[in-house]
Structure 1
Amino acid sequence: MTASTDPRAAVARITATLTGPGGPFETTVEEVLGAPLTVVRNRHRALSELLDASAAWADRDYLVTADRRLSFTEHATAASALAAALARDHGVGKGDRIGILAANTPEWVVTFWAAQCLGAIAVGYNAWWTPREIGYGLEHTTPKVVIADAKRTALLRDSGFDGPVLTMERDVPDLIAAHTGAHPRTPVAEDDPAVVLYTSGTSGRPKGVVHSHRNLLAVTDYHRFTDALSATMRGREFSEPSDKRYLLTSPLFHIASLHNLVVPRLRTGAAVVMHQGSFAVDRVLRLVEGERVTNWGAVPTMAARILEHDLSGYDLSSLAALSLNAAPSSPAFQQRLRERLPVAEVGLTTSYGLTESGTAATVATPAELSAYPETVGRPILGVEVEIRDVTGAALPDGAEGEICVRSPYVMLGYWNDEAATAAAIDGERWLRTGDFGTLADGRLHLSGRRSDLILRGGENVYPIEIENALDEHAAVVESAVLGVPHEDLGQEVAAVVVVDEADAVTPEQLRAFVAERLAYFKVPSHWVITTEPLPRNATGKVVRREIQL
């Protein structure tokens, strides 16, 4: 294949032009937190700068729901006004935490940007948490104020939180109206924390992943770079604002929606079309049709439910790109998508990343995914990937080991947890993902997610958190939680519970017990109650592969 017809060679040439000296995304190596990282030379240094720059997009749609529209101007005005109210009425300043506990709403986004105006740290709590889990998150990050929707405001009362709570339905609009015209801005450094999002940890407690202004701004520049690369590959001139319209279906307390959708679109001028409520195929497809959505990043579970639906009654011709995120997808499933969804024939991609990495570490293009359906792609701009052995030594091509990632997107660390941060990030800013795979010809293949991780419908479920909850039950001697295959969700949660007496407790009782303590997606749907002890090795560790379900 000649250079003129080789897509990879063309991508390399265009990338060199875009990122080389004088290019719009010129890169350089700078020391970041003590390590050399590849960064974009001409970049914003604070998220509030993006908010101010978004005024250029004026009356274009920024946030769209089934019944509301918020332009870039309206959004910037609202975020600044809310920031002023939080500073005046609640004393919120630089470094203070602003808790956000809500389902997807425009006010969620406005609150995030209000925090950035003040140099405060937005904390996105999981909206599916129970009062017990909410209480832990509030105690962990100690927000100065919490902004919540009506449903979660009621849950906050049961969590023990005694700080100020503002409702999105009433308080936020009133505060914005009272402070419209204000324009507070607090200077920050690039590596100051901007946001905390929670991910379950193997210690059994959720960990707060801290991302900096640098992290989110770098993610934004990466997305702009991909727009420029795509335009140039098609023989078009790269320009902004973008006419793309992105469908948001994942929660805003995930990096897929916040870091990789809401934040970059403020810079590119594209619209975010926000689905609200539980995932309902007809409502989602009508939103795609009515708003002429062009891009959708979906978890495989959502895409699978689309395939179960009769698609003949919908005009999905506007869809130009579909990415599968958050969980692995099989080659067979990818092929079913291509057969049913026209966009999947030419625009299906997948990626690999985790909350700690800030964005995808690797992405598989449509052509590469079609040719190598089991790959999760190649490292993206600015990302270094190594496969390492147990000693931390880099392994050669094709050898299996732990996936390690370094980039300007990688988190600062875990909130208030120096030990966990040190275990995850070494002195040269390499992130140990805990996932295992191989690199071959530059392409990453996963050989296993974290050893015990359960991926249920795009949500990470760690067994030890559920086991710890079960251990609180008086009848439970010990337990082990595992994932079992599920056609729709990918995996479901199963629990093997050891008791002294076979009739000491029922699955229904255990299910209710766990449901009081953990979010619904962590509650096991399959139960085995036994008097036989769990299999263990010589060091006393449970041997999960020998557990019988």
Structure 2
Amino acid sequence: MNLAAQVTVSAQVHPDRTALRIGDRTVSYRSLDDLSARAADFLRESGLRPGDRVGIMLPNTPEFAICYFGALRAGGVVVPMNPLLKSREVAYYLGDSGTRLLFAWHDVADEARAGAGQTGAEVVVLGSDGLDEVFASRNASADDVVDRGEGDTAVLLYTSGTTGRPKGAELTHANLTRNRDIVATELLRLAPADVIFGGLPLFHAFGQTCTLNAAVASGACLTLLPRFDARRALEILSGHQVTVVAGVPTIFGRLLEQPDLDTFDDSLLRLALSGGAALPPQVQHDFREAFDCVVLEGYGLSETSPVASFNTLRSGPRPGSVGTPITGVEMRVIGHDGEELPRGEIGEIAIRGHNVMKGYWQRPEETAEAIRDGWFHTGDLARVDQDGYFWIVGRNKDLIIRGGYNVYPRELESVLYGHPAVADAAVVGLPDPDLGQEVGAAVVLKPGARATADELRAYVKDRVAAYKYPRKVWITDALPKGPTGKILKREIVPPTGAGAGAGAGAGG
């Protein structure tokens, strides 16, 4: 088994179909097969042996896919890295993983070289002279895909490090192949005629599995956007005749904010897939109405390859829910004792199945803590309804305990997103000498919209129990976000002396 074998299969079946597109540049499946084979030969000539790690610090360009599949073809383990990393972070990723060679984009070559210089890794710069300069003299063979076992690591995906330094989740060829196939056939129902919007970062599990790997498995086209820009995204959806868009809630919200939406031809768009963070029901409704397509929300983590559950085309969307477990995967909600809780009660999600990672790279103790008796403990809180649908209420660490009462941020955030002026919202716990924690809310307003903190606080107060609503509200220009657009609550800093009316004022 080798995840990259699908490139050769698709090249044999659909040699002339477009596999990758960026602007006016296209790469056929025949070319993707040829170029990834040349990349594999380059790596072997560089001394790569099966199991060696290969870093990829590239944006969403065809070069990412070529190097990704090339490394896998040669038997290597891919270490995807955010191109925005600084040298200190690059050194950590390379050093922790033992990566010996790093493909880096020309725009970030200085940071890549500075970081690699601390570990001894070789840096190969791409993007300035074209692939021909690097791979032209290499041999290409459709038979060069190295055999790998189901349990062999294919990708070392570093987590965001919310509880410490980033850890490398070892995703095997079996993990990623099975997850890819379920996404392509059961969730997206992809066909060769489909065009998938490639705006999710390919260095992230969501982008790899649900766009790149799913497209290649189906002979479909992936049209790439290196850095998300809502206006350019709309132009791609229209001009490239996109049929499927996968994104995080921020992407859908930003698209909805664009003026003159009705001037773009989105008639072929049939499905939107949301993950990575909670999709506010209001955003789901508005996107469905504006783009006339089905919007499905799901759930997963880097450690689960990443998809664990989803609403499906067969069952239809259930707004606010992340659906039911995918085929071959079990999910349950457990209490502090590890026992499964009755339906309707809130507890931690545990997952077991073919999608669960092999473990954390060279961290046996943390692996043993995360995976117990075959169940991966996610740290996410949820409940299950009577139909078996999962409803996320937040992260265990994000739970706010106010005067002994549990407050779940996701519920309040969904309420805030229902306000017509709100673009982004994050609810956090703030230290309080009397109650232990007080509920705070940071809000970003839509362009041109006006609202005060008092108004927003009253809006939520009218819609939730008295102990829940945020007493401390402030309006800010932006919220800190990770590379996929997920809000980073740990980086939110309330204004000094934030009180009940803190930040009251107009936005726009």
Shift of 1:154: 1.2
Is residue 76 of structure 1 aligned with residue 25 of structure 2? no
Rounded to whole Å, the distance in 1 between the matches of 2:27 and 2:268 is 22
Query: 1:76–1:404: structure 2 CA closer, same or farther, 3 Å change rule?
Result: same
Is residue 432 of structure 1 aligned with residue 377 of structure 2? yes
Rounded to whole Å, the distance in 1 between the matches of 2:345 and 2:487 is 35
SS at match of 1:86: helix
Specify which of 300, 306, 324 is matched with residue 255 of structure 2: 306
Per the alignment, residue 351 of structure 1 pairs with 298
SS at match of 1:448: strand
Rounded to whole Å, the distance in 2 between the matches of 1:53 and 1:254 is 24
Per the alignment, residue 142 of structure 1 pairs with 98
Shift of 1:135: 1.6
Shift of 1:526: 4.2
Shift of 1:362: 1.3
Per the alignment, residue 179 of structure 1 pairs with 138
Is residue 294 of structure 1 aligned with residue 243 of structure 2? yes
Query: 1:381–1:241: structure 2 CA closer, same or farther, 3 Å change rule?
Result: same
Rounded to whole Å, the distance in 2 between the matches of 1:483 and 1:190 is 45
SS at match of 1:47: coil
For the Cα contact (< 8 Å) 2:244–2:271, is it kept in 1?
Answer: yes
| CA displacement, residues 179-202 of structure 1 (integer Å, 9 cap, x when unaligned) | 143453322111100001111234
Per the alignment, residue 388 of structure 2 pairs with 442
Shift of 1:295: 0.2
Amino acid at match of 1:189: G
Per the alignment, residue 415 of structure 1 pairs with 361
Per the alignment, residue 265 of structure 2 pairs with 315
SS at match of 1:416: coil
Query: 1:442–1:521: structure 2 CA closer, same or farther, 3 Å change rule?
Result: closer
Query: 1:328–1:76: structure 2 CA closer, same or farther, 3 Å change rule?
Result: same
Of the structure 1 ranges 92-101 and 327-336, higher mean CA displacement relative to structure 2 is found in 327-336
Per the alignment, residue 362 of structure 1 pairs with 309
Rounded to whole Å, the distance in 2 between the matches of 1:141 and 1:399 is 40
Aligned residues: 426
Rounded to whole Å, the distance in 2 between the matches of 1:430 and 1:488 is 41
Per the alignment, residue 51 of structure 1 pairs with 7
| CA displacement, residues 470-495 of structure 1 (integer Å, 9 cap, x when unaligned) | xxxxxxxxxxxx98344579xxxxxx
TM-score of the pair, normalised by structure 1: 0.71
| CA displacement, residues 24-51 of structure 1 (integer Å, 9 cap, x when unaligned) | xxxxxxxxxxxxxxxxxxxxx2223222
Query: 1:91–1:367: structure 2 CA closer, same or farther, 3 Å change rule?
Result: closer
Amino acid at match of 1:258: Q
Shift of 1:172: 4.3
Specify which of 52, 56, 69 is matched with residue 100 of structure 1: 56
| CA displacement, residues 195-233 of structure 1 (integer Å, 9 cap, x when unaligned) | 0111123432111111000011101221343179x5xxx
For the Cα contact (< 8 Å) 1:351–1:360, is it kept in 2?
Answer: yes
| CA displacement, residues 242-270 of structure 1 (integer Å, 9 cap, x when unaligned) | 21111011111111111222112222111
Query: 1:364–1:227: structure 2 CA closer, same or farther, 3 Å change rule?
Result: closer
Per the alignment, residue 511 of structure 1 pairs with none
Query: 1:485–1:415: structure 2 CA closer, same or farther, 3 Å change rule?
Result: farther
Residues 238-387 of structure 1: matches in 2 within 5 Å? 242-277=192-227, 279-309=228-258, 310-343=260-293, 347-365=294-312, 372-387=318-333
Per the alignment, residue 476 of structure 1 pairs with none
Query: 1:487–1:120: structure 2 CA closer, same or farther, 3 Å change rule?
Result: farther
| CA displacement, residues 326-380 of structure 1 (integer Å, 9 cap, x when unaligned) | 111222222222332222xxx111111111111321112368665x422111111
SS at match of 1:188: coil
SS at match of 2:114: helix
Rounded to whole Å, the distance in 1 between the matches of 2:185 and 2:125 is 37
SS at match of 1:80: helix
Of the structure 1 ranges 394-403 and 247-256, higher mean CA displacement relative to structure 2 is found in 394-403
Amino acid at match of 2:335: D
For the Cα contact (< 8 Å) 2:210–2:246, is it kept in 1?
Answer: no
Residues 89-238 of structure 1: matches in 2 within 5 Å? 90-159=46-115, 160-161=117-118, 162-169=120-127, 170=129, 172-182=131-141, 184-226=144-186
Residues 443-522 of structure 1: matches in 2 within 5 Å? 443-452=389-398, 484-486=442-444
For the Cα contact (< 8 Å) 2:277–2:486, is it kept in 1?
Answer: no
Query: 1:272–1:421: structure 2 CA closer, same or farther, 3 Å change rule?
Result: same
Per the alignment, residue 351 of structure 2 pairs with 405
Query: 1:224–1:141: structure 2 CA closer, same or farther, 3 Å change rule?
Result: same
Query: Structure 1: 5+ residue runs without aligned partners?
Result: 1-44, 231-239, 464-481, 490-513, 533-547
Amino acid at match of 2:209: H
Rounded to whole Å, the distance in 2 between the matches of 1:80 and 1:106 is 14
Rounded to whole Å, the distance in 1 between the matches of 2:321 and 2:340 is 20
| CA displacement, residues 52-85 of structure 1 (integer Å, 9 cap, x when unaligned) | 2122210101011113101111001101111111
Amino acid at match of 2:349: I
For the Cα contact (< 8 Å) 1:245–1:292, is it kept in 2?
Answer: yes
Rounded to whole Å, the distance in 2 between the matches of 1:391 and 1:68 is 55
For the Cα contact (< 8 Å) 1:321–1:348, is it kept in 2?
Answer: yes
Query: 1:285–1:299: structure 2 CA closer, same or farther, 3 Å change rule?
Result: same
For the Cα contact (< 8 Å) 1:301–1:488, is it kept in 2?
Answer: no
Rounded to whole Å, the distance in 2 between the matches of 1:355 and 1:361 is 10
Query: 1:195–1:226: structure 2 CA closer, same or farther, 3 Å change rule?
Result: same
Query: 1:525–1:376: structure 2 CA closer, same or farther, 3 Å change rule?
Result: closer
For the Cα contact (< 8 Å) 1:166–1:172, is it kept in 2?
Answer: no
Rounded to whole Å, the distance in 1 between the matches of 2:334 and 2:299 is 17
Amino acid at match of 1:288: L
Amino acid at match of 1:360: V
For the Cα contact (< 8 Å) 2:187–2:312, is it kept in 1?
Answer: no
Is residue 65 of structure 1 aligned with residue 22 of structure 2? yes
Q: More relative contact order in 1 or in 2 (CA 8 Å, sep 6+)?
A: 1
Per the alignment, residue 336 of structure 2 pairs with 390
SS at match of 2:245: strand
